[in-house]
Chains A and B, each alone.
Chain A
């Protein structure tokens, strides 16, 4: 094994911001899971916890989404992006105080946002359920966390840069601009009427294609060649795939607005862009196909994530066509697509990245190999059950909605069984994520033990194939 040579003193010198980002991300993930579980129960049993305004369905959904996207995905994605850029620069992170300060205020901001949402300060915009007063804090703290990453990028050893570099740097650079634009156009000087949903749709799509997906792809492009020990196949297309995503990604947001009270060209642009984006997806699949045959828990997560990413792109394109959209629009299919992207693709790739990175950052093996394998099983099972149940509910709902004679009470009764499946999936995912948090917490505590020797031993959990 080449594990021993993987451990470098630069990791130890940069460990604090990275570990703090990951542990806060994992904690938000569990909180998001609790709220998602409650909301999913309310879908088939509306009276569940309905007497408490904090847990009313609309607010619960908003809290779950915010904790998931801005708590979990952002924290974990930033940690791994910083780690990748630090690794590729060949020296410890510079300006770590900026990252620590940014981490503090970012998480205080997310906490403030969640308290605000519980009290009713919803915005009503998908993926932007952040009260206006929180957004400035998040803007500055994200920028502060990005500074060490961009310093590592500009101070890199060789002039040449890699695909991991581009995706990480793009995500670090673009989010503050996105957030500032949308803050001005929706909160400080709001645009009129339906322009608000248009701006919000553009933001939601851009934050996925320009920030969250690149954060995940960055670590995938870093881990896969390390684990397979080979140059990525068809790597010469990687830069074209990258620029395709960056240029076209933000234009695909209008597909949810098809048939709505907005100019028809917005949906048409989205259809064309979705089709163009296939090129990017295909390049990612070509480059990372080694993940499907490589051994180890980390790369199993990543392989699942890449498969979900490709499947999600196919889903997005197919449902953007008019004939399909009339069936799937406004149904649980939309939620299935969102979960496939945010959970199936981004989250599993980040899990894989964390399983790969943490033993190198801490110099310790994962505390419990059993919990690692349990987390893998529960995550993959939970995500598949979640997406399939939502699709089944969506199919029933779509069929019934298009029959004008079926009343809503009947639709609720018809979708009940599938929605119970969603609850089961959320429960499985929550259990898996608690395993993950506990294991991570235990591993992180190991580095605080002064008595334990600081030598690195190859991790068995990390490289054992899950059987």
Chain B
């Protein structure tokens, strides 16, 4: 390699090729993805995120929750995501179009959260989630800095938001534990995590009956 110009042009074009291929290619395919309008339901999916939930997504990101939790359900047959109750269908690109900071995640130290608010038979509600954040769980740290311990004035009523803690976690008499605004928006976000609608592209391909029989006979 004796020619400087050709060398650096080569480097620049190699970078340009991989950028154009991967980044521009997927942008051309997905960049203009629109919500899906269902005539029979008279509504478009996915729904826009509520303001509190969008704020909560930023709290989720700032705490680094994605270092232990994914938010992408793999298709039935590829892993056991469905059997674990994480979702009946695979996640598709359309699920994320309204999310300001999608948190797909790379690690499952904890469970997938893509459909956290839609667990069957019963999903966690706000007070369960706040308790989980305050108390932690096996393998999950506590997030007590998202809560505030306040002293109750003489004769004052406890706050409606105060956590109902029992046993070792119970606050001292005359004090109460209330969630900070960050904790509240994080919970609002977690409660917004559900993808109830099945888009056409999320339905797995089923081979025609004839082929299926042949494979079964093998």
Give the B-binding residues of A (Cβ under 8 A): 42-43, 46-47, 50-53, 56-59, 61-62, 120-124, 126, 153-154, 159-161, 165-166, 169-170, 173-174, 177-178, 181, 185, 190-199, 202, 206, 210, 239, 243, 246-247, 249-251, 253-254, 256-257, 259-263, 266, 269, 322, 326, 329-331, 334-335, 397, 401-404, 408-409, 411-413
Contact = CB atoms under 8 A, between A and B. Distances in A.
Given A47-B136, A190-B100, A259-B75, 17 more contacts: A51-B144, A56-B64, A56-B145, A122-B63, A160-B2, A169-B8, A170-B11, A193-B98, A195-B27, A197-B102, A249-B18, A250-B14, A261-B92, A263-B26, A263-B30, A404-B84, A413-B138
B171 to A, nearest CB: 15
Contacts of A121: 62
Contacts of A408: 110-111, 137-139
A329 B143 CA distance: 27
Contacts of B165: none
A403 B83 CA distance: 9
A263 B12 CA distance: 26
B176 to A, nearest CB: 19
A192 B72 contact: no
Given A52-B145, A154-B4, A254 B97 contact: no
B91 interface: yes
Contact of A61 (B29, B64, B92): B64
Contacts of B109: 43
Closest A-B pairs by Cβ, 6 of them: A58-B64, A250-B18, A412-B139, A404-B83, A193-B96, A120-B62
Contact of B22 (A56, A126, A251): A251
A409 B140 CA distance: 9
A131 to B, nearest CB: 11
B203 interface: no
A61 B33 CA distance: 33
B91 A403 contact: no
A46 B67 contact: no
Question: Looking at chain B's contact residues, is the secondary structure mostly helix, strand, loop, or mixed?
Answer: loop
B141 A260 contact: no
Nearest to A153: B4
10 contacts: A58-B64, A122-B63, A193-B30, A198-B26, A202-B23, A261-B90, A330-B107, A331-B107, A401-B80, A401-B108
A161 B136 contact: no
Nearest to A402: B80
